[in-house]
Amino acid sequence: MYRSFEVVRRGRREKSMVLVAPVEVRAEIGGPSREGCVLHLQALAAGVFNLGDGMTLQILVARNGARVSIYERTFDPGRTAADRDWSELDVALDLRPGERGQLLLRLGAGPQGDLVGDWLALARLSLVEK
């Protein structure tokens, strides 16, 4: 994992956290501050290189000993032109007000298991109440 790594995709430069597969990043989080709000993870995501068989990002929430997958996407900038640009992520996290949990970001190999070029940039990463 690299922090404060500058990544340029389609002419747009973003200071990013770069995940290099295989990796799992964990962060302790709390639920929204009040009833009626939902906590969202927001970010921009892009593959760093235009090669390989792609990579898969999984986002999970762990609480009370259970892990729940809430998002999964394969990025394949080597074969998919849209994956060579920044994509907006907006993922609702399944936590209630006052509840504590753990946010897990997992980056794994693409569909064929090849790890070549499996670097994913995450920029403007934030937790937002909606």
Domain of 124, CATH number, reads: 2.60.120.200
Instruction: Encode pLDDT of 41-79 as tens digits.
Output: 999 999 999 998 999 999 999 998 899 999 999 999 999
Q: Residue 2: is its pLDDT beyond 90?
A: no
How many domains does the chain fold into?
Answer: 1
Domain extent at residue 46 = 2-129
Predicted pLDDT at 129? 95
Kindly report the pTM of this predicted structure: 0.93
Predicted pLDDT at 28? 97
Instruction: Encode pLDDT of 4-37 as tens digits.
Output: 899 999 999 999 999 999 999 999 999 999 999 9
Predicted pLDDT at 99? 94
Predicted pLDDT at 113? 92
Predicted pLDDT at 125? 96
3-state secondary structure the chain: CEEEEEEEECCEEEEEEEEECCEEEEEEEECCCCCCCCEEEEEEEEECCCCCCCEEEEEEEEECCEEEEEEEEEECCCCCHHHHCCEEEEEECCCCCCCEEEEEEEEEECCCCCCCCCEEEEEEEEEEEC
Predicted pLDDT at 1? 76
Predicted pLDDT at 64? 86
Instruction: Encode pLDDT of 77-122 as tens digits.
Output: 999 999 999 999 999 998 999 899 999 999 999 888 999 999 999 9
